[in-house]
């Protein structure tokens, strides 16, 4: 009998992925359906619905779901969900799709799913603006007053993504037919929720933490993971292996860096290196909640939330992604509420006086003694060929990353926000 937290939604793992003869029959049917080209974001969302990562979702959201999620973190039936999972089409495509009909969802020539369309709803410029206000606007300097819209439309990847969406959303259940490139490109790292749950059960884990990564693992990440190892049965280092913004480090480079670190600096029996197939939304606090929601489906009941979790620029308060967990609705109804809880960790750094990793809660020394660590700061130094400050990362990992940067023919400027620089410490 598993001791792990139950999947979100109270329905067990809801997996929309077809296999074997059922998949072959659906692929054959899909060839005769109207084909809709989908975004990279939608592709990742479909795969997560396929493997049960987005349980209890079995399709793209209705207007009532979309509105409820944006406004009060709940779908129409009262189930907690923090970020809209929607599918956009052009007005012409929407007009050609009848309610109740089936369509094929395609990405670059590959059929990823079929979908029965149950609803169509317009997304006007005002609707998109409202969604961005609710989902992406935070409490940081770039979100204050009119500045949000002065900055966000050109600098916030999530806002840019929403504004680039087509003008109609369609809703309905899906049958997923592909996991894309992930099983072949990331064998042993790309893991389905049923697989991680089995691994946790086999190791006898009941109390599991997850560390979210989109950057190479530096000393602060290592420290966070080790704090969790001390108080939990084990830790899933769970990296995003979908798409990132320009200038971020590709998944294969980051996965290898984690392996290097685990092999030399962790007790391997207490750590699992895994990946999941979503694109980043850069929704800061809301995305922190999404990370906890789908980690619950993977069998995780503790989500490590540190400084500026899933943030971008200076749109979010340093610990806003921690505080938001205290403001989400709690119904007390089985399956409706989020069960994965945050592990709230203060700002961490290397202190030369303490001669080790520390946090604002444990270190009494001044700013001059602290090596401020952040993924953005590391990427900026590596991209510019600058010297890496001592104690920033393990030498073996830094050597691996330097080889990657040396091979780049084009480099993207990495902007340094206040949260990453340590200016606001």
Mean pLDDT on 237-256 = 86
Please give the Cα distance from 309 to 15 (Å, whole number). 28
* pLDDT at res. 370: 93
Mean pLDDT on 35-61 = 98
Alpha-carbon torsion angle 373, 375, 378, 382, nearest 10: 170
Q: Taking 90 as the threshold, does the pLDDT of residue 19 lie above it?
A: yes
Query: How sure is the predictor about 307, in pLDDT bands with cuts at 50, 70 and 90?
Result: confident
pLDDT tens per residue, range 187-213: 999 999 999 999 999 999 999 999 998
Can you spell out the DSSP letters for 54-121?
A: TTT--EEPPHHHHHHHHHHSB-TTS-B--S---EEE-HHHHHTS-TT-EEEEEETTEEEEEEE--EEE
Mean pLDDT on 326-331 = 97
Lowest mean pLDDT among 44-48, 246-250, 265-269: 246-250
* pLDDT at res. 98: 98
Please give the Cα distance from 287 to 321 (Å, whole number). 8
Half-sphere exposure of 323 (CA within 13 A, CB side): 9
pTM, rounded to two decimals: 0.93
Average pLDDT, the chain: 93
- Pairing status of strand 87-89 against strand 110-116: unpaired
pLDDT tens per residue, range 340-366: 999 999 999 999 999 999 999 999 999
**Radius of gyration of the chain from Cα atoms?**
21
* pLDDT at res. 411: 65
> CB of 309 within 8 A of CB of 288?
yes
Please give the Cα distance from 25 to 257 (Å, whole number). 41
* pLDDT at res. 369: 95
* pLDDT at res. 303: 98
Mean pLDDT on 309-319 = 92
pLDDT tens per residue, range 137-194: 999 999 999 999 999 999 999 999 999 999 999 999 999 999 999 999 999 999 999 9
Q: Which structural domains are found in the chain, ordered by start?
A: 20-123+165-176 (3.10.400.10), 185-421 (3.40.50.620)
Please give the Cα distance from 280 to 304 (Å, whole number). 17
> CB of 301 within 8 A of CB of 5?
yes
Higher pLDDT, 347 or 299: 299
Burial call 374-413: b when 16+ CB within 10 Å, e when fewer: bbbbbbbbbbeeeebeebbbbeebbebbeebbeeeeeeee
Active site residues: 214-215
Please give the Cα distance from 230 to 105 (Å, whole number). 44
Q: How far is CA 401 from the centre of its chain?
A: 22
Please give the Cα distance from 9 to 162 (Å, whole number). 26
Please give the Cα distance from 405 to 411 (Å, whole number). 8
Collapsing DSSP to helix, strand or coil, 261 comes out as helix
* pLDDT at res. 362: 95
Q: How many CB atoms lie within 10 A of CB 192?
A: 24
Please give the Cα distance from 388 to 218 (Å, whole number). 12
Given its phi and psi angles, is residue 80 left (phi above 0), alpha (psi -120 to 50 degrees) or beta?
beta
The phi, psi pair for 59, rounded to 5°, reads: 180, -175
* pLDDT at res. 418: 55
Q: Taking 70 as the threshold, does the pLDDT of residue 423 lie above it?
A: no
pLDDT tens per residue, range 375-418: 777 888 888 888 888 888 899 999 999 998 888 877 656 565 55
Tokens, residue 352: 């030369």
pLDDT tens per residue, range 65-102: 999 999 999 999 999 999 999 999 999 999 999 999 99
Q: How many CB atoms lie within 10 A of CB 12?
A: 13
Tokens, residue 405: 């940067």
pLDDT tens per residue, range 223-243: 999 999 999 999 999 999 988
Q: What percent of the chain has pLDDT over 70?
A: 96
* pLDDT at res. 361: 93
Query: How sure is the predictor about 425, in pLDDT bands with cuts at 50, 70 and 90?
Result: low
């Amino acid at each position: 009998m598993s001791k792990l937290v139950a999947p979100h939604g109270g329905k067990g793992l809801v997996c929309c992925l077809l296999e074997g003869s059922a998949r072959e029959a659906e692929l054959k049917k899909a060839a005769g359906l109207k084909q809709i080209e989908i975004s990279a974001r939608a592709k990742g969302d479909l795969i997560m619905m396929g493997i049960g990562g987005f349980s209890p979702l079995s399709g793209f959201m209705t207007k009532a779901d979309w509105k409820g999620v944006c406004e009060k973190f709940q779908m129409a039936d009262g189930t907690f969900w923090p970020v809209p999972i929607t599918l956009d089409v052009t007005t012409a495509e929407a007009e050609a799709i009848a309610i109740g009909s089936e369509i094929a969802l395609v990405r670059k020539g590959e059929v990823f799913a079929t979908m029965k369309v149950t609803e169509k709803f317009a997304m006007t410029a005002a609707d998109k603006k409202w969604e961005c206000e609710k989902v992406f606007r935070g409490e940081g300097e770039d979100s204050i007053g009119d500045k949000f819209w002065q900055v966000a439309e050109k600098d916030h990847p999530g806002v840019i993504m929403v504004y680039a969406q087509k003008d109609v959303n369609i809703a309905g259940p899906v049958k997923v037919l592909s996991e894309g490139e992930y099983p072949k490109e990331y064998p042993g790292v790309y893991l389905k929720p049923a697989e991680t749950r089995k691994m946790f059960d086999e190791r006898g884990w009941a109390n599991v933490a997850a560390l979210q990564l989109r950057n190479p693992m530096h000393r602060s990440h290592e420290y966070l993971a080790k704090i969790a190892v001390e108080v939990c049965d084990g830790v899933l280092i769970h990296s995003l292996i979908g798409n990132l913004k320009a200038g971020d480090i590709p998944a294969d480079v980051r996965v290898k860096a984690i392996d290097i670190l685990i092999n030399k600096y962790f007790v391997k029996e207490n750590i699992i290196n895994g990946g999941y197939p979503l694109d980043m939304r850069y929704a800061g606090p809301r995305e922190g909640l999404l990370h906890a929601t789908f980690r619950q489906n993977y069998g995780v009941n503790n989500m490590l939330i540190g400084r500026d979790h899933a943030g971008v620029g200076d749109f979010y308060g340093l610990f806003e992604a921690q505080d938001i967990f205290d403001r989400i609705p709690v119904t007390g109804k089985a399956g409706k509420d989020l069960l994965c809880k945050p592990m709230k960790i203060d700002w961490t750094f290397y202190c030369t006086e303490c001669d080790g990793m520390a946090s604002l809660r444990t270190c009494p020394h001044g700013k001059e003694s602290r090596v401020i660590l952040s993924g953005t700061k590391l990427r900026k130094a590596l991209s510019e060929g600058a010297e890496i400050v001592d104690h920033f990362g393990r030498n073996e990992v830094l050597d691996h990353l330097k080889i990657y940067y040396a091979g780049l023919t084009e480099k993207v400027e990495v902007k340094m926000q206040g949260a990453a620089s340590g200016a606001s410490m």
